[in-house]
Chain A
Amino acid sequence: MMESGPITGPVVTDGIAGEANLRSADLSGVPAKPSPTAASGGIGGTFWRRFAFRRPLAALILQRLGLSVGLLFAVSLMIFGGIEALPGDFATTYLGQSATPQAVENIRKDLGLDRPWSERYLTWLGGAVQGDFGTSWASKNSVSEQIGNRLGNSLFLAFFAALISVPLAVGLGMLAVQFRNRMPDKIINVISLAAISLPEFFIGYLLIMFFAVQWGVATFPATVYDSMSLGERLSAIALPVATLVLVVLAHMMRMTRAAILNVMSSAYVETAELKGLGTFRIIARHAAPNAVAPVINVIALNLAYLVVGVVVVEVVFVYPGMGQYMVDAVTVRDMPVVQACGLIFAAFYIFLNMAADILAILANPRLRHPR
């Protein structure tokens, strides 16, 4: 993996690596290098600078972890503020058109909605830090318990979608490069473009129409529940997984293809070609490792999407995941649930981005010392 370092064409790979860094920087809001305050600070700053020099990777991870926690607080504040700004509060929204002033008043008082929002926010935050997300205002159930269930379902779906789509996307991307501008490349391109152009609910409906309604070979709806066996679960999620694979495949596949092609035009690949190595060997041994950073980033984004962005697929397939849970909660302004879901979603994005950055640095050591 490291062999390409010394002979890498500086312009091309730096471009890609730079882009990867920029992406993570954009998402975290702070550049991914030691912050100016820490670097110029007193003794602590010196210690940090030395530590960062000796153990760049550990320093980077620590720094990103710290940032992540800060980011989560910011996110919680934003969610809280956002819901406050929405028209209507829980009491009126929950009771809908059938709200009597008396019932609204009772609910408000019961939930302490008459207290100032800062006070409510801090109370909630105090609980959340200790892992207690409180009870849902609407159903009076423990939020942590319900989320445990729903998150489990979402991860189950995401795991199988990722298990199929990631190797498939990378494999197809490499295949496309090998047969660049020939028939297989074109077919892969057309199909993936078609899949990415169709909205996911439409793909879902198409699959339902053919596999469930017309041919009756697939299970629908994809509702899963506790008493189901693993086999039944797998059969239930077949269609939603297929939909998700089609939706995320093209993005990852095309990024793999573009990144490898980018590297393929560099001088050291030409050298390898002149040495007489086979095309596949060049792609796999020489080009792919250098193209890994942007691909990892795209994969991370898509993995995050598989967990937090699949509301539409969940609705279409009647799958009880996190997305549906949060939408239900937003509709009635069930604050404890919305907050908890928001935080968990944010945590997923932050964690996956961090993992992507770290993996990119492992793959390309020059990124450990950003200029």
Chain B
Amino acid sequence: MSDYKDYLTRQVMLGKMNRREFLGRAAAFGIAASMANTLFATSAAAQEPKRGGHLKLGLEGAAATDSKDPAKALSQFMFVVGRNWGDMLVESHPTTGAPVPALAESWEPSADAATWTFTIRKGVKFHDGKELTVDDVIKTLQRHTDDKSESGALGVMKSIKEIKADGDKLVLTLTEGNADLPLLLTDYHLIIQPNGGIDNPDAMIGTGPYKVASFEPGVRATFEKNPDDWRTDRGYVDSIELIAMNDATARIAALSSGQVHYINRVDPKTVSLLKRAPTVEILNTPGRGHYVFIMHCNTAPFDNNDLRMALKLAMDRETMVQRILGGYGKVGNDFPINDTYALFPEGIEQRVYDPDKAAFHYKKSGHSGSVLLRTSDVAFPGAVDAAVLYQESARKAGIEIEVKREPGDGYWTNVWNVQPFSTSYWGGRPTQDQMYSTAYLSNADWNDTRFHRADFDKILLEARSELDETKRKEMYRTMAMMVRDEGGLILPMFNDFVNAAGKQVKGYVHDIGNDMSNGYVATRVWLDA
């Protein structure tokens, strides 16, 4: 209910809903007319965007090795840089996660969801003055689907068989039906560049609300307003400065001394200290990222479902969320999906810490001796502490967990997806299909729980091309139950994105898509002097 109110308010703020429509929708949701009137007035008045000013952001995640080519963008810093200067074909809705038009005005799937036709927006200009054509879009997608490409979107794009133009329209043919294709095109690597960026991938020329004024990798990036922006509901400040600040304390110092307006990655341990500063506001947004303990279902002793169940029940999720996330997160239920996804399967019983039941399953598994858990702080912030907490809660169920701390350097190469029991992190994906296809499909590259189930694969592939939402939702429910009760995943918590801003920063959109308002923070906020 309050989520819906937020949504309505935001629609007003974005100018996407007029008064009559607002009152109608609010009434339908049982909000009294007088209250709705006030709500509309406050949201429309209080949220009136101001233009102008110089916005400074202190961001973690930049390195001297950052590449200007959006195909190779990996860091948090470059994620925001790309959002400032470029646009994708499709964006995702900040609160519902549904696909919304960007450079593609509209789209139409075929009945089997295997052929998609996109209408490309007209009258959009690149920063160099050249007009956007369907050819630029085709070249861009081709660059990212090329087998020789180093693009981070290669995995997403490999299901596209053919890219061609039909007059002014773009036609994509897939190897198999995929009802989620528009959402896949929201991937932040897929910035549309003139001529696909083939001749000069590093030019940083796009159709975004800001032009790149200067860029020094690992240090700083500055932007100025694109006067020819095709949208009016974004790009409120005149200029933007992104400063690379990889030290958490430096970020906090910069924000509390007023040197920057916004910082990302606030350590949950220091949130309470930062809150004391009267000029600072903590911005936490629920996200899809989750911290996990992964067991290989095909490796002894984890090939025994009773042992896996015992280990799942021996996890004290509430304590994890409190201690490791400082309360900035939600408990998980051993499947990688939460209610920020469209078609989230509701009503699945929450798994809770139950030492007795864990002991029962542990005895039934016939396993004896300790279980070796490998971890490192690069797996997720506080991973080693989390492992020790887990050790404690499991001990009460009579299960001995031996925690081995591995070097952070090379953890992703030598431990994750190699050793049978380890800690890790998943960033979430735009769609349920993508999350399951990436890590739970039998032949997935990153099937890090070694979950090999033919029946699961079958449902996943069926759901992918199913355009009927009710049927699809039921399929996702079945899949969630399989992973939850038989998989090798222990998922104690989904972490919030915790950022902070000065009080003069207004209009922050809590976007469920990804961190930092899905990377759009600088283009969506304004400064209230």
Contact = CB atoms under 8 A, between A and B. Distances in A.
Q: Do A and B bind each other?
A: yes
Interface of A: 86-88, 92-98, 100-103, 106-107, 110, 136-141, 146, 149-150, 205, 208-209, 212-213, 216, 220-221, 223, 225-227, 315-318, 320, 324-325, 328-329, 331-332, 334, 337
Contacts of B253: 205, 208-209, 212-213, 220
A268 B256 CA distance: 60
Contact of A87 (B63, B67, B148, B413): B413
3 smallest beta-carbon distances between A and B, as pairs: A87-B410, A138-B65, A88-B413
Contacts of A88: 409-410, 412-414
Nearest to A213: B257
Nearest to B68: A139
A338 to B, nearest CB: 11
Interface stretch (B47-55, B211-219, B301-309): B211-219
B417 to A, nearest CB: 9
A100 B410 contact: no
A107 B67 CA distance: 14
Given A213-B256, A315-B250, 13 more contacts: A97-B412, A97-B425, A103-B155, A136-B64, A138-B66, A141-B217, A205-B253, A208-B249, A208-B253, A223-B220, A223-B243, A225-B220, A332-B65
Nearest to B249: A205
Interface of B: 58, 63-69, 74, 147-152, 154-155, 158, 202, 214, 216-220, 243-247, 249-250, 253-254, 256-259, 409-410, 412-414, 416, 424-425, 445-446
Nearest to B149: A106
B219 to A, nearest CB: 4
Nearest to A97: B412
B64 A318 contact: no
22 contacts: A87-B410, A93-B410, A95-B74, A96-B412, A98-B152, A100-B155, A103-B152, A110-B150, A138-B63, A139-B65, A205-B249, A205-B253, A208-B253, A213-B256, A213-B257, A216-B258, A315-B247, A316-B250, A318-B58, A318-B247, A320-B216, A324-B218
B250 A221 contact: yes
Contact of A221 (B149, B243, B258, B414): B243
Given A93-B413, A96-B74, A103-B151, A315 B246 contact: yes
A139 B256 contact: no
Given A138-B66, A318-B243, A97 B202 contact: no
Contact of A106 (B63, B67, B150, B258): B150
Contacts of B63: 138, 328, 331-332
A318 B245 contact: yes
Contact of B245 (A136, A221, A225): A221
A87 B414 CA distance: 8
Contacts of A110: 150
Nearest to A141: B217
A4 to B, nearest CB: 49
Interface of A, secondary structure class, is: helix
Contacts of A318: 58, 243-247, 250, 254
Most buried by B among A208, A325, A328: A328
A71 to B, nearest CB: 26
Counting chain B CB atoms within 10 Å of each CB, which of A96, A97, A320, A328 scores highest?
Answer: A97
A95 B152 contact: yes
Contacts of B67: 138-140
Nearest to A208: B253
The secondary structure that dominates the B interface is: loop
Nearest to A150: B64
Contact of B150 (A107, A317, A334): A107
Contacts of B149: 103, 106
Nearest to B69: A140
Contact of A86 (B249, B256, B409): B409
Contacts of A337: 64-65
Given A97-B412, A106-B148, A325 B254 contact: no
B150 A139 contact: no
Contacts of A138: 63, 65-67
Nearest to A149: B216
A93 B409 CA distance: 9
Given A139-B66, A213-B256, A328-B64, A320 B409 contact: no
Contacts of B414: 87-88
Contacts of B65: 94, 136-139, 328-329, 331-332, 334, 337
Nearest to B64: A328
A225 B218 contact: no
Contacts of B249: 205, 208, 316
Contacts of B413: 87-88, 92-93
B344 to A, nearest CB: 24
A66 to B, nearest CB: 34
A92 B152 contact: no
A99 to B, nearest CB: 8
Nearest to A107: B150
A136 B155 CA distance: 25
B257 A325 contact: no
A316 B245 CA distance: 8
Contacts of B245: 221, 318
B243 A320 contact: no
Nearest to B67: A139
A330 to B, nearest CB: 9
A225 B216 contact: yes
A103 B250 contact: no
B253 to A, nearest CB: 5
A245 B243 CA distance: 26
Contacts of A86: 409-410
B154 A221 contact: no
A227 B222 CA distance: 12
A241 B216 CA distance: 23
A134 to B, nearest CB: 14
Nearest to A224: B219
A227 B213 CA distance: 12
B219 A146 contact: no
Which of B68, B245, B412, B416 counts the most chain A CB atoms within 10 A?
B412
B445 A101 contact: yes
Contacts of A150: 64
B19 to A, nearest CB: 45
A324 B250 CA distance: 15
A220 B245 CA distance: 11
Nearest to B75: A96
Given A98-B152, A221-B243, A320 B218 contact: yes
B240 to A, nearest CB: 15
Nearest to A209: B253
Nearest to A320: B219
Contacts of B446: 97
A3 B513 CA distance: 78
Nearest to B253: A208
A237 to B, nearest CB: 14
A332 B202 CA distance: 20
A212 B147 contact: no
A337 B198 CA distance: 26
Nearest to A227: B214
Nearest to A146: B64
A221 B58 contact: yes
Contacts of A208: 249-250, 253
Contacts of A334: 65
Contact of B219 (A136, A141, A225, A227): A225
